[in-house]
Amino acid sequence: MPRYLTMIRIDEKTSPEGGPSPEMGERMGELLEEITKAGVMLDTAGLTPSAQTTQVHWKGGQVSVTDGPFTEAKEVVGGYSITQCKDKAEAIEWASRFLKTHDEHWTVTAEVREIIEG
C-alpha cells in the first residue's frame, strides 16, 4: 500500500501564539485516535516555529547556514504526517478531515505527496 507525506502549512501570522484552543486540540486528538485505530497513521508531529528554524543551502558548490526567522516566508510547515492509504484519494480525505478540526481563524494548507518507494 502506498505511503503519503502530508505537510501542514500554516500562516504563522494568523495562528494564535498559545497554539490551538482546547476544543481544537480535542477535535485533533479524536481524529488522530481514529486514524491510528484505522491503521493508517504511521507517524505525525507538529514542528517548532519558523523563528527556531535553520536553513542549510547548497549553491555554487558552497554550503551556507542561516538561522530563522525568515521574513519572506508566508507559509511554513507547521507539522506533518506519514500515512499508509489505499490510494491518494484516501490520503486527501484524511488530510481534509484534519484541516476541518482547525478553528475558523486559522489559515492552513495540507500538501499531500506520495512517497516514492525503493
Q: pLDDT tens, 37-95?
A: 999 999 999 998 888 999 999 999 999 999 987 766 678 899 999 999 999 999 999 99
50 Cβ contact partners less than 8 Å away, ≥ 6 residues apart: 12, 68, 69, 70, 73, 76
Query: Which DSSP state fits 50?
Result: G
**CATH architecture assigned to 3-114:** 2-Layer Sandwich (3.30)
Residue-range domain boundaries for the chain: 3-114
DSSP state, 23? H
Per the structure block, which three cell numbers stand in for 94?
484524511
Q: Write down the pTM of the prediction.
A: 0.87
Asked if pLDDT for residue 3 goes beyond 90, the answer is: yes
DSSP state of 17: T
